[in-house]
């Protein structure tokens, strides 16, 4: 097995694995028709349309268990793309995947639960270095996000339009060129609980740890340490709450974070800080 992502070179090809249901039929709640278990999917490459390099899920319920996604590249979701589906991703590894939106996983109009997974060194040329979620409810539980990067917002996770819950996760060394070094939450509701944010950074914008744009952000029992915004314009080394957002931080610890203004927290609208 290669030790460098650069050494994983696949030819341009169709998505490695595709799970697709009837687009005219509704995906039933809590019904999963397909199980993908124990696969190693690597070096898949898809340059055309919106497909991923690794696993594509469309109009179907799918469980993905104990799979590894290495060095895949696609337009949306280098490792996995899910559209109009219901998915559960358990104990999987995503390393060195790249995508236009969501380096590791991209979800659109999907109900998803991601648990016990490792996201390391994934890259997005827009939002969501590891995960990009749009227009669907998502639960992320007990996952590790390390050294993921993106050129716009959300080095670890970008959420826009969906309700998201993130619990018991570690975010370490993730970086965005835009807002939200670890997490960018744009609209709807985000609940962050019992998470650790260490050494994440936003290079030229706000929120070294978390950036809340226009939604409701609730952060509880979490630690923010050594996060930063690097640019002279950036605000909020730990958390930044933008002018149309509401934020609550309860029983959280902020130390060693840095920014041009608001090393721990920067706020433009309404924020509540509680013990």
Average pLDDT, the chain: 90
Cα angle 147, 54, 99; round to 5? 45
Instruction: Classify 17 as helix, strand or coil.
Output: strand
Angstrom distance (rounded) from CA 110 to CA 102: 14
Specify the length of the chain in residues.
275
Q: What six digits make up the tokens of 269?
A: 């609208």
Whether residue 225 contacts residue 255, with contact meaning beta carbons closer than 8 Å, is answered with yes
What are the residue boundaries of the structural domains of the chain, listed by start?
Answer: 32-274
Question: What Å distances lie between residue 64 and 19, 79, 150, CA to CA?
Answer: 11, 12, 25
* 112 has pLDDT over 90: yes
Question: What Å distances lie between residue 171 and 141, 144, 217, 222, 232, CA to CA?
Answer: 12, 6, 17, 11, 24
Q: Residues near 48 by Cβ (< 8 Å), separated by ≥ 6? A: 75
Q: How confident is the model at residue 9 (pLDDT cuts 50, 70, 90)?
A: very low
Q: pLDDT tens for residues 17-60?
A: 666 655 544 445 567 889 999 999 998 887 665 677 899 999 99
Q: pLDDT tens for residues 53-83?
A: 899 999 999 999 999 999 999 888 999 999 9
pTM of the model as a whole: 0.91
Q: What pLDDT does residue 32 have?
A: 82
Dihedral Cα 231, 159, 215, 275, nearest 10 deg: -80
Q: pLDDT tens for residues 144-196?
A: 999 999 999 999 999 998 999 999 999 999 999 999 999 999 999 999 999 99
């Amino acid at each position: 097995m290669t030790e460098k992502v650069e050494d994983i070179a696949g030819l341009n090809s169709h998505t490695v694995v595709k799970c697709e249901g009837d687009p005219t039929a509704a995906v039933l709640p809590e019904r999963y028709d397909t199980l993908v278990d124990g696969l190693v999917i690597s070096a898949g490459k898809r340059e055309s349309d919106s497909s991923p390099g690794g696993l594509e899920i469309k109009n179907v319920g799918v469980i993905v268990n104990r799979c590894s996604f290495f060095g895949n590249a696609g337009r949306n979701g280098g490792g996995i793309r899910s559209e109009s589906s219901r998915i559960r991703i358990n104990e999987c590894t995503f390393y060195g995947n790249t995508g236009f939106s969501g380096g590791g996983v991209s979800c659109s109009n999907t109900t998803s639960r991601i648990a016990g997974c490792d996201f390391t060194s994934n890259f997005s040329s827009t939002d969501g270095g590891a995960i990009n979620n749009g227009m669907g409810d998502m639960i992320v539980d007990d996952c590790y996000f390390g050294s993921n990067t993106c050129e716009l917002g959300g080095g670890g996770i970008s959420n826009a339009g969906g309700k998201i819950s993130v619990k018991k996760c570690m975010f370490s060394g993730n970086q965005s060129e835009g807002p939200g070094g670890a997490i960018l939450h744009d609209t709807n509701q985000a609940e962050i609980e019992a998470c650790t944010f260490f050494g994440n950074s936003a290079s030229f914008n706000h929120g070294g740890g978390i950036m809340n744009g226009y939604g409701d952000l609730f952060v509880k029992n979490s630690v923010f340490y050594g996060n930063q915004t690097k640019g002279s314009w950036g605000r909020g080394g730990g958390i930044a709450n933008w002018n149309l957002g509401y934020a609550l931080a309860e029983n959280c610890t902020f130390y060693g974070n840095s920014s041009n203004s608001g090393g721990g927290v920067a706020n433009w609208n309404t924020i509540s800080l509680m013990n």
